[in-house]
Amino acid sequence: MENPIKTKYTNFGHDEITFLEYLRFERLLLENTLKSYERDLKHLGEYLEKNPALDYREITHDGILGFLKYLYTVMSDNSVSRVLSTMRGFYKFMVREKKVSCNPWLNITNPRTAKKIIDILDINEVENFLNSIPVSTPCQLRDKAMFEVLYSCGLRVSELISLKIDEIDFEQMILRFMGKGDRERVVPLGEVASHHLKKYLKAARYRIEREKKTDYVFLNSRGLKMTRQGFWKILKKYAMKASINKNVYPHIFRHSFATHLLQRGADLRTVQELLGHSSISTTEIYTNLNREHIKDTYFKYHPREKI
């Protein structure tokens, strides 16, 4: 016999699928974003399984607090904030579809999180890292070109490993590609990066590719598109070789790119455009770092800074 209590939430899976289809076909969200929504909704599904008496379509304030208490046992404040945003979106959709009368998540505030400290490499550390990469083998030529382009252009790693040959314009010294959110990005390609990229494409890439044919610029040792995991392993190898005593991760080159430009006088709007940020408020995080650089420079060089 069917459990009468469990029938209260058996439709959750159907509502979840309908919501995800709405995000995919009406909101046109990218696959990775859809997966994030799906992961967040999975937490609600798991909580409903543990609490079969709870009706998610008539969830009360106490029910929401119970769900939050459950979330805090399995994730960080930042992750809880993301799940709360998903819940607000899901129930907004449910209101639109007339499956619930109101959105009970609107008055639930996100947890306060500590301001994230952005790690950067200083210019000498970047130079030491890049100079530590030898250029004797095809894979080393690839690595040299890969990291020179990453730092020269301030790319996201996803943009770097998805770069295709026809997106490089050596004559104009630019890269033209689709960035985050399917927005076209056009970024300058510096002379040093251009030199190493040409050398890789001319002398090494065909030897890595062998019989496999692909348009992607950076390939792994099997001739396939470079993956995030493969890139990460290569990065760690050279970070260790360069003896950098910092947490070196892929995005640190993008952070360093933006900070170094601001330190050397670039304006914020230009850096925003180069990074491909849709909002300048996202770029403004680097101005705080730049102020610290200005202050450090003052105390180091001003002739009357000390008594």
Architecture of domain 123-301: Orthogonal Bundle (1.10)
pLDDT one digit per residue (tens) for the chain, 307 residues: 334 334 455 568 899 999 999 999 999 888 889 999 999 999 999 999 999 888 899 999 889 999 999 998 888 888 899 999 999 999 999 999 999 999 999 988 887 765 566 789 999 999 999 999 999 999 999 999 999 999 999 999 999 999 999 999 999 999 999 988 788 899 999 999 999 999 999 999 999 998 888 999 999 999 999 999 999 999 999 999 999 988 899 899 999 999 999 988 899 899 999 999 888 888 888 877 666 655 665 566 555 555 5
Q: Where are the alpha helices (DSSP H) in the chain?
A: 12-25, 31-50, 61-72, 77-96, 123-131, 138-153, 157-161, 191-203, 205-209, 228-241, 252-263, 268-275, 280-283, 285-301
- Give catalytic residue positions: 156, 180, 251, 254, 277, 286
pLDDT of residue 287: 77
Residue pLDDT, tens place only, 220-254 = 999 999 999 999 999 999 999 999 988 899 899 99
pLDDT of residue 78: 82
Q: What is the pLDDT of residue 303?
A: 59
The residues near 164 (Cβ < 8 Å, ≥ 6 apart) are 177, 215, 216, 217
pTM of the model: 0.62
Task: Point out which residues pair with 255 in neighbouring strands.
Answer: none
Residue 290 burial (C-beta neighbours within 10 Å; 0-12, 13-18, 19+): buried
Neighbours of 27 (CB within 10 A): 12
Predicted confidence at residue 30, as pLDDT, reads 87
- The residues spanned by each domain of the chain are 6-96, 123-301
CATH of domain 6-96: 1.10.150.130
Q: Interhelix angle for 228-241 vs 138-153, to 10°? A: 90
Q: Given this model, what pLDDT does residue 1 score?
A: 36
What is the model's pLDDT at position 118? Answer: 78
Tell me the three state secondary structure of residue 190: coil
**The predicted structure's pLDDT at residue 116:** 62
